Structure 1
């Protein structure tokens, strides 16, 4: 299916044990944006999410399912889905969580902004954006992490860790997905940084991020720590390259 002025669009939705949320989220997405396809990428969920996705796809030709054999990280699931989407000829490829934290009814904001951008990020931290039902500690960790990204990588993006976004096909082709090695949550920062580094247009639009009501969060202190370590390595490497270039 297609969206006027943008061409064929698909939202890639990675899943691992999201049987409580998947049908609810996909149903809202299909109702909010009938012209947008949905691709569920399931990492062999033991709770039957993959089988549920198959049933949804059997009932709606706009829904497809990619089955992976193992849980290898959020970034790995997205890279697999992006590859399938690009080979299928989609003009716009988006990301969206399966747990209900991203509101499908707000996808219109991202698609409208993409008409004059190469990547649009649904941001919690621009005027009009919000985070609902997060404990203060997690909010401070997220805001602090994004500030650290801006300072270390020199990006103006306010919410580089956000996972609600839409890319033009040409953007994904320009940022060399084959060389991406980040597989966890730092994947989002990696792709935003690659887009900025290539001089492409990144726009942020406000969204309301609502903490999941059902199921377990995949975020942990260990995951956050690994993300910060990788960002530190990238930032120091970037600074070193800049210094060498001036010498």
Structure 2
């Protein structure tokens, strides 16, 4: 059976990486399609994507938004688009090659062949597999996941991971308009919600390599949001149990 697969990549000022990333995904076996969601990049990232759509008219898609609206809202926009187009498997991935495009097949196989609903590319499931990050950032990321597990019970070692494969049933089951966070907390909230709804999650070991081109989008506010967001998610789960989206699509 042939599955329709869509890779979603949010971008903001990624002109140094986007052409190479498009080629990398297009050259993979398996017929992946790619949706770029660009937040009005002043460096012309959106125009570079458009220039490649002539070569890949049915596989390369672009949504351009006005202004920098945040990682979480970009993915929610992409998820809704993917569900409307009825893709079977939907992936999250960064544009900067910190995630190796060749690992998309490993995430896909974990879902399509092994029966998991959400496969997570994990930096910490087999130790610490991070290249070129300062030690302070590695420790902050690692212990963020320890903190998440302690507060929420989420049985995931890389709670902030942003390299994932969802079966469409997960995104149909989540009330996407109720996902509120935009940074690290968005990644945590999506995993926590999927887990609370009873979907099957698995971590697949990957090697995460820090970007060599372009500028990181990390900021102190992202970590602050995650810290308080984890507590609010736990409280919500106690007083308002998670329920599947009965519409089977999006709300």
Same fold (TM over 0.5): yes
Structure 2 residue 77 is matched with structure 1 residue 80: yes
Question: Which residue of 1 is the match for residue 67 of structure 2?
Answer: 70
Indicate yes or no: 2:51 matched with 1:52: no
**Inter-partner Cα distance in structure 2 for 1:156 and 1:83:** 27
Q: Give the structure with the larger helix fraction.
A: 1
1:200-211 counterparts in 2 under 5 A? 200-211=199-210
Moved more, 227-236 or 63-72: 227-236
Q: Normalising by structure 2, what TM-score?
A: 0.90
What's the offset of the Cα at 1:239? 5.1
User: Unpaired runs of 5+ in structure 2?
Assistant: 242-251
* Cα RMSD (Å): 1.6
* 1:170-208 deviation line (CA, Å, top 9, x unaligned): 110111112111122211111100100011100110111
1: CA distance between counterparts of 2:65 and 2:89?
A: 22
Rounded Cα–Cα distance in structure 1 between residues aligned with 2:116 and 2:208: 22
Which of 27, 38, 46 lines up with 1:31 in the alignment?
27
2:244 equivalent in structure 1: none
1:118-147 deviation digits (Å, cap 9, x = unpaired):
100000011276110000000000001000
Q: Is the 8 A contact 1:130 1:208 kept in 2?
A: yes
3-state secondary structure, aligned to 1:159: coil
Aligned with 2:53: secondary structure?
A: helix
**Which SS does the other structure have where 1:50 is aligned?**
helix
Distance 1:224 1:124 in 2: 18
The alpha-carbon deviation at position 20 of structure 1 amounts to 0.4
* 1:21 equivalenced with 2:17 (yes/no): yes
> Residue 32 of structure 1: SS of its match in structure 2?
coil
Residue in structure 2 matching 1:108, options 105, 108, 119: 105
The Cα shift of 1:56 comes to 1.4
Specify the alignment match of 1:91 in structure 2.
Answer: 88
Secondary structure class of the residue paired with 1:58: coil
For residues 135-150 of structure 1, what are the structure 2 equivalents within 5 Å?
Answer: 135-150=134-149
Q: CA deviation at 1:240?
A: 6.3
Q: Structure 1 residues 127-136 or 17-26, which shifts more?
A: 127-136
Aligned to 1:11: 7
CA distance in 2, matches of 1:216, 1:33: 30
Aligned to 1:172: 171
TM-score under structure 1 length normalisation? 0.92
